[in-house]
Chain A
Amino acid sequence: MPLSWYLVFGALLFMIGVVGVLTRRNVIIVLMSIELMLNAVNVTLISFSHYLQDLRGQIFTLFIIAVAASEAAIGLALVISMYRGKSTFNLDEVNVLKW
């Protein structure tokens, strides 16, 4: 398959992630959308890497996967902390500080 298919797939995945972050109010779904964005980046990097026959893109991807894992850990910890104080996952109800 040509490179452009993978790039279009990556771009679509990225857009789904962006729209998810911007429109959803449930913090867990927002976190999932962020993961989707990072994975879209991974798809893009790997397809470029294969196309260019260059390993840098894949190495970058490995680092992104590792960072995404720690990001998920910290994100979920913060969500638990938020849930303990507020008993909600809805971002609109988190408003001690005015946006």
Chain B
Amino acid sequence: MAIPAPPLSEVLALWPEILLSVAACAMLVIDLLTSRDRKADIGWVCLGVVVLALVGTLLHPPQAGSIFSGMFLADGYAAFFKVLFLIAAALTVLISLRYLDDEGIQRGEYYALLLFATVGMMFMAGGGDFISIYLGLELMSLSTYVLVGFIRRDDASTEGAVKYFLMGAFTSGILLYGLALLYGLTGSTNLAAVAQGLSGLSLDNPALVLATILVVVGFGFKIAAVPFHMWAPDTYEGAPTSITAFMSSAVKAAAMAGLARVFIVALFPSAEIWEVLWWILAALSMILGNVVAIAQTSLKRMLAYSSISHAGYALIGVVAATQAREVGLAGALFYMFVYLFATMGTFSMLILLTHRGFRSDKIADFAGLGRSAPLAAFIYIIFFLSLAGIPPTAGFVGKLVVFRAAIESGYVVLAVIGVATSAIAAYYYFMVIKTMFMEEAVVQPQLSPSRPLAVGLGIMVVATVLLGLFPAVVLNAVTESVKLLQ
């Protein structure tokens, strides 16, 4: 039986993925030919490729619909997330260029792995089948495991990587078992076909309940929702700070993209089962993430817990989408988008304070920063305001959108928990600001500025402020992109 080759238009719809994959492979080869002190050049090549893909996707988003017999969906939803991942990847390269020298890990593989991870994320957002979503998830995860353990001489980095790897591989197994059961129940792995198969099933079917729970647990681990979050603080703390920034923004958004696609499209007929589970996970993440963050002395670890709570806020959107699909999903997507800039921004500021032989991640290290480097302190405040959800920053609009979605779809309690925990969050962010301005410096904080880092920070600050003042542009794009999600 001859299998017809896919038409060229379908292949072309995947051009960003193809470009990044080819570039990543090429960079592995170029790396061998590059002398040790010129490795940063590979970073610049990587940046160029990512920006090229980003501009191309923005100007001409692939809208081919279902391609490769339903394996991939080149729709607005996928295009939106592609833009998000590419922005995150470009910013990660910008903040890494100097930081890798400071840590002594300037190597070509770093940038190649970053590109592979980005391709995996794109497959997750654009997957129309359990197989392609799983492959994307693994490509992303496997690359990230290595990136987390990239500082090989550092025990914390290796330990974070081992813990992340064991948890990630374990939960992949759990997720897969759930997907296998769904395949048995519905006879297909295609998202739309699974939805069709499920709609004929009784919700009392124990296999369906088990499969749904397993898939919830699997994705719960991937987005680090409480109670499946225990790997996140260790991994975030141990990883190179640039990778922590990448993980808390792009990897989390990718897991959210896959999650929303699987649950809102394929598992929608069994929404009654999983809606409660995600409700509980969202509430627990918001409460526990924010409460435990107060007790942290390491800023990196505090931000890890804050990142757990932000997964909870984005989950509100997914829960709300069971009643009001467009509003809820748009809320979750917009939240991930605005959260990207603020969270990457705070981690980039940690990079700014890291220089050779000194890694600053204790909150006490920031004492006196307000006096010695007022501009850096001011930028920090903007990011913290956005994370805490205070106007006029982007975080405020993000929270407003998800809370409104929750109230409109009848999840008032969830919105109340969200507002209450935001107040807790504001407390610990302001404690850091207080440390920066009110306390005397024990050691004078030293900055390690570089031009790429400054450009990256500039983009993040401008985006955080502009998205707060003029959210309509992105919000409309998001609403458009979720409309066609079938």
Contact = CB atoms under 8 A, between A and B. Distances in A.
A78 to B, nearest CB: 5
B234 interface: yes
Given A14-B177, A70-B142, A45 B158 contact: no
Interface residues on B, range: 35 or more
B241 to A, nearest CB: 15
Interface of B: 130-131, 134-135, 138, 142, 145-146, 149, 152-153, 155-156, 158-163, 165-166, 169-170, 172-174, 176-177, 180-181, 183-184, 187-189, 230, 233-234, 237-238
B362 to A, nearest CB: 14
B142 A79 contact: no
Secondary structure at the A interface, as helix, strand, loop or mixed, is helix
Interface in A58-99: 59-60, 63-64, 67, 70-71, 74-75, 77-79, 81-82, 84-86, 91, 94-99
A54 to B, nearest CB: 6
Contacts, number: 122
Interface string A42-54: 0011001001101
Contacts of A91: 162, 166
Contact of A99 (B162, B188, B230): B230
Contacts of B184: 7, 44, 48, 51-52
Contact of B165 (A45, A54, A74, A84): A74
B456 to A, nearest CB: 27
Contacts of A59: 131
Interface in A1-37: 7, 14, 17-18, 21, 27, 30-31, 34, 37
Given A38-B176, A56-B189, A44 B166 contact: no
Nearest to A39: B173
22 contacts: A31-B169, A34-B173, A37-B174, A37-B176, A41-B180, A44-B177, A52-B184, A56-B131, A60-B183, A60-B189, A67-B138, A70-B138, A70-B142, A71-B138, A74-B142, A74-B146, A78-B149, A81-B158, A82-B159, A96-B156, A97-B159, A99-B234
Nearest to B166: A30
A78 B147 CA distance: 11
Nearest to A38: B173
Contact of B170 (A7, A21, A63, A70): A21
A96 B298 CA distance: 14
B166 A21 contact: yes
Contacts of B230: 99
B173 A82 contact: no
Nearest to B137: A67
Given A60-B183, A67-B135, A78-B145, A41 B173 contact: yes
A86 B177 contact: no
